[in-house]
C-alpha cells in the first residue's frame, strides 16, 4: 500500500490513479474523464488515506472541498479493487442544510425536500448509527417532513443535525472507512476471494441533481443483456430521481428505447437519448468492456456519473468476449482469458435458473455438473422401468457399483450417500454428462424402505420429485425452473480460438458409442481411455461374463470368452467408426471380478438359476472371490496374468474390429493399454501374448494392421521403475486416480467421508482426487515421465485420471511434459480452454 499518499486526488486525465491504489471505480471514472465524457467533478481518496481516516486521522477539510463549486452537493461511493468485493452503500446529497434547502426550494420546489430527507436518513443510519425505524411515524411526503425529520434526529442523537458541509462529509467518509474494517464486511469479501488486507478507496463526486424544473431525472443504460449476452439496449429512466431509483420504480420509470409497453426516453428526450447511446458506445469501445452506465439528466443536460462492468451469466460472458474480439476491440487471446474455464459448465449442461427458488433438502460433493429433476428411484431395475415409462428418474444409491451402470444410463441424475469425486458414481456420471451429487451424508438414505429423510424430518419417498444440482452439490425438493445448455455459435468460436492457442492435446475418456459421439462433438482429439469393463454389464453379456467367472477350467473359460469376443468386437467396430481417423486408446479389463457378481441372496438365486448350478455352489464361489481390499487385490494386469483368456479375447476383438472398421473406411490405429502395472515382467508377459494374438489375426485374415501398446502408470512402483517398463511400451498413461489413492493410501470410495473436514482444517489444501497434488503425486508423475523418456525418448505421455479435466492439474501436466490429457467428454471444452489460457 502506498504510504502517506495525498488525502485526495482530483480525477483528471493524468492524475496518478490506479486500481491498486484507488480502486476500480476511481480508475474507471478517470477513464471516462479521459474520454471527455460529461462526468461531474470527482476526487478520489486512496486506500491509504481511507486507512488513515479509519484510524482517526483528520484530513484538511478545506482542501478536500476545494475542487468543488461553492454550495454544490456531494456524493461518496466506495471504490474497492474488485467491485465484487462489495463496500459500503453510496451516500448522496452531502452538503445540504437548512440554508441550501431553502435556496433549492426556490428553484426546484418540493424536490428540495426529497433531497434533504434522503440525506438526513442516510446520515442518521450510516454516520450517526441511529435506528432507521425512527422516521417510521413521519409522513415523508407531507409539508412538514423535513422539519419533523430534523427534530427526530435531534431527539435521538441528542444534538442538532450538522449544518456544516465539511463536518457532514468527514462523518460520511469516516463511517464508510470504518464499515470496511468491520468483521462481517471483511468475512463477506474474503468469501469472494479478497485478500485479508484488501483496501477501500472512495470517490467524492459533485451531485448532478436529477431533480428540477426542466426535464431532470436519472437512470442506467447498457448495450447488452446480462443474461444472454445479446446486444440490446437495456435500462430504465425515472424523471425527478437520483441514484439508482429508476431500477426500483416499476411502471413509473420509462423504457429507454421506443417500446410498445409504455413511454420511452427516446421519445421524450431524443437528443439526450442519442447522446447517451453515443457515450455508451464510446465506453464499450475504449474501456473494452460491456459497461452499465449510470447517468443523470439535469434540465435536459446529460451527466455520466459512473460506469460499472455489467453483471453477466457465463453464457453472456462468452458471447460478450467473442463479440468484442470479433469487432477487434479485444484480441482473441484476451477473449480467451476473460472466461473462467469452469464457468463453461454452465453452458454445457442444464442448470437451475439462478433466479429460481431453491428448497434445499440436502447437500454433498458436487461430483458432476448440471441439474436435473426426476422421480426418486432406489434401484437399477426401478430406474430402467421408469425410463421405459418415459418418466425422468433420479437414481439413489448408498454408493454405485458397475452393476448400477445401466440404471445410471436410464436416469437423469444420480445421488449417493457415500463417495468422493473419483468414486464410481462420480466417474460414470461425469462420463455420461449426468448431474451427480455424492457423499450426501446430510440426508438419511433408507434404500430398503425406499426413502430419503432430510434434516428436520422431511421424508421423500420413491416417486417423489426432487432435483439434483451437481454444479453446487445441492439436492432440492421439487422442480425449479431450469436454464437450457447453450452450445451456441459464440461458444464454438471461442473453442476454435482455444484450439489455435493451446499446446497440449485433449482427448476424452469414453466407454460407449454415446460417449464417443459426445467426445467428437466437443472436438476431443481421440479417446484417451476406454474403460472396457463397462461393456460387460448389458444383460446379454453379463450372464456370459458370469459363466466365464464360474468356469472350472481353462477350456470352459475359453468357451465363455469365445462367446464374449464377437460382442466385444462389435463394440469396438462401432467405436472405431465414430472415432474414424482419430486415436482410440483401449484399456484392457481392470476391475476385480466380484463386481460382476450379485451382492444379495435374491441375485445369487437368479444367478444359480441362470447357470443351472446349486445355490450353495454360487454362494461358495462368490465367497471365494471376495477380497478384503479389492482395489489392491486381484484386478488389472493381475487378472491379465492369471486369467490370460480375458486379455487375449480383448486383443483379438480389438484387432478384428480394426480390420472390419478399416473396410468401411474408418482407419484407426488402436492403442492397447495395460492397467495397474507395477513390474516390468507383467508387461513382458502380456506383450508377448498380445503380439501372438496380433500375429494370429494377421495370418487368419491375411491382412495387416498397426497398433500401439502402453501401460497405465497408476501404482507408485510403476512410476519409480518407469525406466525398466518403458522399453516395452509405446506410451504411458498416468492413471492419477489410482496413483493418488495409492500415494496417499487413501481409498477413492471412502475419502468423501472425511475429505471436507480435511480440507476445512487445512490438512490438504484441496481434495487431491480433484486437483492433482503437485508436490507428492505430481513428483511421482514427474519421475515417471523423466525415467520413462530416459529409456525411450519418443514415449508419448498422457494423464487419463479425472485430473485431466481440472484446469490447475492441466497446468501441471503441461509443465512436466505430458503430451495430452484425457477427461470425461463433458469436461473436454473446459480442458481445451484451460490449456489455451496457460499458453497466453
Ligand atoms: C485412474 O486410476 O486414474 C484411471 C484412469 O483408471 P480408473 O479410474 O478406471 O481406475
Ligand atoms: Mg485406475
pLDDT in tens, 286-325: 999 999 999 999 988 999 999 999 988 888 999 999 999 9
* Known catalytic residue at 230: no
Ligand 1, atom 8, lies closest to the CA of 737
* φ/ψ (deg, to 5) at 809: -70, -35
Query: Which of 344-358, 564-578, 741-755 has the highest mean predicted lDDT (pLDDT)?
Result: 564-578
- 249 in the same domain as 101: no
Torsion angle, alpha carbons of 720, 724, 730, 734, to 10:
-10
Cα 763 to middle of ligand 2, angstroms: 25
- In this structure, is the dihedral angle defined by the CA atoms of residues 80, 83, 85 and 89, taken in order, positive or negative? positive
> Does 395 share its domain with 511?
no
Residues 441 and 379 in one domain: yes
Among all chains, which residue has been given the C-alpha cell 460478450? 320
Q: How far does Cα 488 stand from its chain's mean position? A: 18
- Count of Cβ atoms closer than 10 Å to residue 105 Cβ: 16
* Ligand 1 near 23 CB (within 6 A): no
* CATH number where 44 lies: 3.30.1490.20
Domain annotation covers residue 406:
yes
pLDDT band of 196, cuts 50, 70, 90: confident
pLDDT at residue 41 greater than cutoff 90:
yes
Ligand 1, from 425, 507, 591, 738: best to mutate by most atoms within 8 Å of Cβ? 738
Q: What was the pLDDT predicted at 4?
A: 64
Beta-carbon contacts of 810 under 8 Å, excluding residues fewer than 6 positions away, are 504, 804, 821, 831, 834, 835, 838
* Inside any domain, residue 678: yes
Predicted ipTM > 0.85: yes
Please report the atom of ligand 1 found closest to the CA of residue 427. Answer: 8
CA distance 72 to 276: 24
541 in a structural domain: no
Same domain, 803 and 709: yes
Any domain includes 333: no
Please check whether residues 90 and 37 belong to one and the same domain: yes
In a domain, 629, yes or no: no
Q: Any idea what the CATH number is for the domain that residue 431 is in?
A: 3.50.30.10
Whether residue 360 sits in one domain with residue 469 = yes
- Dihedral angle sign, alpha carbons of residues 311, 316, 322, 326: negative
What's the total number of domains in the chain? 4
Question: Beta partners for 713?
Answer: 734
The three cell numbers of residue 151 are 427534530
Q: What is the CATH number of the domain that holds 526?
A: 3.20.20.60
Of 148, 179, 206, the position where a domain reaches its end is 206
- Which residue's CA is the nearest one to ligand 1's atom 4? 735
Ligand 1 atom 10, closest CA: 738
pLDDT above 90: percentage of residues in the chain: 71
What 3-state DSSP class applies to 437?
strand
**Pairing mode of beta strands 371-377, 393-397:** parallel
Burial environment of residue 612 by CB neighbours within 10 A (0 to 12, 13 to 18, 19 or more): exposed
Please tell me the total number of residues recorded for the chain in this structure: 840
Does 539 score more than 80 pLDDT? Answer: no
Q: Is the pLDDT of residue 559 over 80?
A: yes
- pLDDT tens per residue across span 593-627: 988 888 888 889 988 998 889 999 999 999 988 88
Task: For residue 621, give every residue at least 6 positions away whose Cβ sits within 8 Å of its Cβ, in sequence order, or none.
Answer: 549, 550
- Dihedral sign from CA coordinates of 749, 737, 649, 668: positive
For residue 367, give the nearest of 404, 403, 418, 405 by alpha carbon: 418
Q: Which ligand is nearest to the CA of 637?
A: 2
- Which of 595, 630, 714, 732 best tests ligand 1's pocket when mutated (most atoms within 8 Å of CB)? 714
104, 112 contact by CB (below 8 A): yes
Residue 429's Cβ-count burial label (10 Å; 0-12, 13-18, 19+) is buried
In this structure, what C-alpha cell is assigned to residue 294? 449510470
Examine the pLDDT at 433 and tell me if it is beyond 60.
yes
Residue whose CA is closest, atom 6 of ligand 1? 735
| Average pLDDT score, the chain | 92
Higher pLDDT, 253 or 718: 718
Asked if pLDDT for residue 1 goes beyond 50, the answer is no
Catalytic residue among 393, 585, 800, 823: 800
Distance, CA of 792 to chain centre: 39
Instruction: Please check the confidence at residue 28 and state whether its pLDDT lies above 90.
Output: yes
Q: Is the Cβ–Cβ distance between 373 and 465 less than 8 Å? A: yes
Binding-site annotation: residue ranges for substrate: 531, 587, 714, 735-738
Other C-beta atoms lying within 10 Å of the C-beta of residue 11: 25
Q: Which of 22, 424, 534, 770 is catalytic?
A: 424
> Model confidence at 2, in pLDDT bands (50, 70, 90)?
very low
Is residue 143 classed exposed, middle or buried when 0-12, 13-18 and 19+ CB atoms within 10 A define those classes?
exposed
Say whether both 437 and 531 belong to one domain: no
37, 29 contact by CB (below 8 A): no
Give the pLDDT confidence of 795-823 residue by residue, as tens digits.
999 999 999 999 999 999 999 999 999 99
Q: Could you tell me if 184 and 38 lie in one domain?
A: yes
Domain that holds residue 139: 9-206
Give the mean pLDDT of 378-384.
Answer: 92
Give 800 Cα–ligand 2 centroid separation in angstroms.
9
**CA-CA distances (angstroms) from residue 300 to 208, 210, 217, 237, 296?**
12, 10, 9, 13, 9
Has residue 640 got a pLDDT over 60? yes
CB of 362 closer than 8 Å to CB of 455: yes
DSSP, residue by residue, 641-673: HHSHHHHHHHHHHHHHHHHHHHHTT----EEEE
Mark whether 267 and 373 lie in a shared domain. Answer: no
pLDDT digits (tens, 9 = 90+) for 762-791: 999 999 999 999 999 999 999 999 999 999
**d(CA 268, ligand 2 centre) in Å:** 68
Query: What backbone torsions phi and psi does residue 361 show, to the nearest 5 degrees?
Result: -110, -10
Banded model confidence at residue 143, pLDDT cuts 50, 70, 90: confident
Q: In the predicted model, is pLDDT for residue 465 greater than 80?
A: yes
Residue 252 lies in a domain: yes
State the distance between the two ends of the chain, measured CA to CA, in whole angstroms.
Answer: 29
Identify the CATH number of the domain in which residue 272 sits.
3.30.470.20
CA distances from 120 to 96, 223, 296, 365, 824 (A): 9, 35, 22, 49, 59
Please indicate, yes or no, whether residues 281 and 233 belong to a single structural domain of this protein. yes
Share of the chain above pLDDT 70, in %: 100
Q: Which residues pair with 803 in a beta bridge?
A: none
Cell of 527: 479417446
Counting from 1 in the atom list of ligand 1, the atom nearest the Cα of 800 is 5
Sign of CA dihedral 397, 402, 404, 408: positive
Task: Quote the CA–CA distance of 58 and 56 in Å, as a whole number.
Answer: 6
pLDDT for the residue 3? 53
Q: Which residue, of 206, 229, 261, is where some domain finishes?
A: 206
**DSSP assignment of 299-310:** TTEEEEEEEEEP
Average pLDDT over residues 623-643: 92
Considering the domain architecture, whether residues 479 and 513 belong to the same structural domain is answered as no
Ligand 1 within 6 A of 530 CB? no
Classify residue 618: in a domain, yes or no: no
User: Both 454 and 373 in a single domain?
Assistant: yes
Q: Considering the domain boundaries, does residue 549 fall inside one?
A: no
- Give the position, in ligand 1's atom list, of the atom nearest the Cα of 801: 3
Closest residue by Cα to residue 817 from 795, 838, 797, 792: 797
User: Distances from the Cα of 546 to the Cαs of 542, 549, 595, 606, in angstroms?
Assistant: 6, 5, 10, 12
State if pTM tops 0.95.
no
Last residue of a domain, one of 264, 294, 312: 312
Amino acid at each position: 500500500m502506498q504510504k502517506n499518499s495525498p488525502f485526495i486526488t482530483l480525477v483528471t486525465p493524468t492524475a496518478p490513479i490506479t486500481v491498486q491504489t484507488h480502486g476500480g471505480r476511481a480508475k474507471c471514472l478517470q477513464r471516462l474523464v479521459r474520454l471527455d465524457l460529461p462526468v461531474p467533478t470527482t476526487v478520489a481518496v486512496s486506500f491509504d488515506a481511507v486507512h488513515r481516516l479509519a484510524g482517526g486521522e483528520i484530513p484538511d477539510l478545506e482542501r478536500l472541498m476545494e475542487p468543488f463549486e461553492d454550495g454544490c452537493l456531494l456524493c461518496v461511493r466506495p471504490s474497492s479493487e474488485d467491485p465484487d468485493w462489495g463496500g459500503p452503500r453510496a451516500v448522496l446529497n452531502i452538503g445540504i442544510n437548512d440554508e441550501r434547502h431553502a435556496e433549492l426550494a426556490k428553484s426546484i420546489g418540493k424536490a428540495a425536500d426529497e433531497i434533504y430527507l434522503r440525506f438526513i436518513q442516510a446520515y442518521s443510519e450510516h454516520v450517526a448509527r441511529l435506528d432507521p425505524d425512527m422516521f417510521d411515524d413521519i409522513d415523508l411526503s407531507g409539508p412538514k417532513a423535513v422539519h419533523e425529520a430534523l427534530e427526530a434526529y435531534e431527539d435521538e442523537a441528542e444534538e442538532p443535525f450538522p449544518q456544516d458541509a465539511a463536518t457532514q462529509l468527514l462523518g460520511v467518509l469516516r463511517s464508510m472507512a470504518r464499515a470496511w474494517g468491520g468483521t462481517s464486511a471483511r468475512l463477506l469479501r474474503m468469501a469472494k476471494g479478497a485478500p485479508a488486507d484488501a483496501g477501500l478507496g472512495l470517490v467524492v463526486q459533485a451531485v448532478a441533481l436529477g431533480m428540477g424544473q426542466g426535464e431532470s431525472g436519472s437512470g442506467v443504460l447498457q448495450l447488452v443483456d446480462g443474461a444472454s449476452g445479446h446486444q440490446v439496449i437495456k435500462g430504465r429512466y425515472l424523471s425527478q430521481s437520483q441514484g439508482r431509483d429508476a431500477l426500483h420504480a416499476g411502471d413509473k420509470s420509462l423504457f429507454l428505447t421506443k417500446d410498445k409497453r409504455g413511454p420511452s426516453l427516446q421519445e421524450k428526450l431524443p437528443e439526450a437519448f442519442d447522446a447517451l447511446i453515443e457515450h455508451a458506445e464510446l465506453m464499450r469501445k475504449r474501456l473494452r468492456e460491456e459497461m452499465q452506465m449510470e447517468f443523470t439528466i439535469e434540465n435536459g443536460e446529460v451527466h455520466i456519473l459512473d460506469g460499472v462492468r455489467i453483471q453477466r451469466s457465463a453464457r453472456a460472458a462468452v458471447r460478450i468476449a467473442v463479440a468484442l474480439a470479433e469487432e477487434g476491440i479485444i484480441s482473441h487471446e484476451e477473449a480467451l482469458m476473460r472466461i473462467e474455464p469452469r464457468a463453461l459448465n454452465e453452458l454445457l449442461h442444464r442448470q437451475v435458473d439462478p433466479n429460481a427458488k431453491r428448497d434445499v433438502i440436502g447437500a454433498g460433493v458436487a461430483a458432476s455438473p448440471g441439474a436435473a429433476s426426476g422421480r426418486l428411484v432406489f434401484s437399477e431395475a426401478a430406474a430402467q422401468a421408469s425410463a421405459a415409462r418415459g418418466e425422468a428418474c433420479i437414481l439413489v444409491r448408498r454408493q454405485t457399483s458397475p452393476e448400477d451402470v445401466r440404471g445410471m444410463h436410464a436416469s437423469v441424475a444420480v445421488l449417493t450417500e457415500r463417495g468422493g469425486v473419483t468414486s464410481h458414481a462420480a466417474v460414470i456420471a461425469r462420463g455420461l454428462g449426468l448431474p451427480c451429487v455424492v457423499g450426501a451424508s446430510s440426508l438419511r438414505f433408507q434404500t430398503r424402505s425406499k426413502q430419503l429423510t432430510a434434516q428436520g424430518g422431511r421424508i421423500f419417498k420413491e416417486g417423489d420429485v426432487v432435483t439434483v444440482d451437481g454444479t453446487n452439490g445441492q439436492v432440492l425438493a421439487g422442480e425449479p425452473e431450469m436454464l437450457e445448455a447453450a452450445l451456441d455459435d459464440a461458444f464454438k468460436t471461442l473453442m476454435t480460438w482455444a484450439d489455435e492457442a493451446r499446446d497440449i492435446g485433449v482427448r476424452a475418456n469414453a466407454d460407449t458409442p454415446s460417449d464417443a459421439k459426445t467426445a467428437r462433438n466437443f472436438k476431443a482429439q481421440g479417446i484417451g481411455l476406454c474403460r472396457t469393463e463397462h461393456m460387460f454389464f448389458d444383460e446379454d453379456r453379463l450372464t456370459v461374463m458370469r459363466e466365464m467367472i464360474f468356469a472350472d477350467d481353462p477350456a470352459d473359460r475359453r468357451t465363455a470368452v469365445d462367446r464374449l469376443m464377437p460382442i466385444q468386437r462389435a463394440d469396438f467396430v462401432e467405436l472405431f467408426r465414430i472415432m474414424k481417423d482419430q486415436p482410440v486408446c483401449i484399456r484392457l479389463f481392470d476391475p476385480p471380478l466380484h463386481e460382476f457378481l450379485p451382492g444379495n441372496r435374491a441375485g445369487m438365486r437368479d444367478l444359480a438359476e441362470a447357470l443351472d448350478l446349486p445355490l450353495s455352489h454360487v454362494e461358495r464361489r462368490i465367497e471365494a472371490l471376495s477380497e478384503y481390499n479389492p482395489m489392491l487385490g486381484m484386478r488389472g494386469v493381475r487378472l491379465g496374468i492369471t486369467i490370460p483368456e480375458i486379455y487375449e479375447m480383448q486383443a483379438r476383438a480389438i484387432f478384428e474390429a480394426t480390420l472390419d472398421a478399416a473396410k468401411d473406411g474408418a482407419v484407426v490405429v488402436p492403442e492397447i493399454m495395460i492397467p495397474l502395472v507395477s513390474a516390468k515382467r507383467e508387461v513382458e508377459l502380456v506383450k508377448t501374448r498380445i503380439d501372438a494374438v496380433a500375429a494370429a489375426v494377421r495370418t487368419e485374415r491375411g491382412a495387416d494392421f498397426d497398433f500401439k501398446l502402453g501401460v497405465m502408470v497408476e501404482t507408485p512402483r510403476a512410476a519409480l521403475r518407469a525406466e525398466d517398463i518403458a522399453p516395452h511400451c509405446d506410451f504411458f498413461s498416468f492413471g492419477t486416480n489410482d496413483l493418488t489413492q495409492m500415494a496417499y493410501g487413501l481409498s477413492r470410495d471412502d475419502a468423501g467421508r472425511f475429505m471436507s473436514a480435511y480440507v476445512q482444517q487445512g490438512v490438504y489444501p484441496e481434495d487431491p482426487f480433484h486437483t492433482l497434488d503437485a508436490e507428492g503425486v505430481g513428483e511421482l508423475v514427474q519421475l515417471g515421465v523423466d525415467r520413462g523418456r530416459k529409456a525411450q525418448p519418443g514415449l508419448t505421455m498422457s494423464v487419463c485420471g479425472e485430473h485431466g479435466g481440472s484446469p490447475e492439474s492441466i497446468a501441471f501436466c503441461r509443465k512436466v511434459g505430458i503430451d495430452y490429457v484425457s477427461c470425461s467428454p463433458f469436461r473436454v471444452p473446459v480442458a481445451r480452454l484451460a490449456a489455451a489460457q496457460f499458453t497466453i
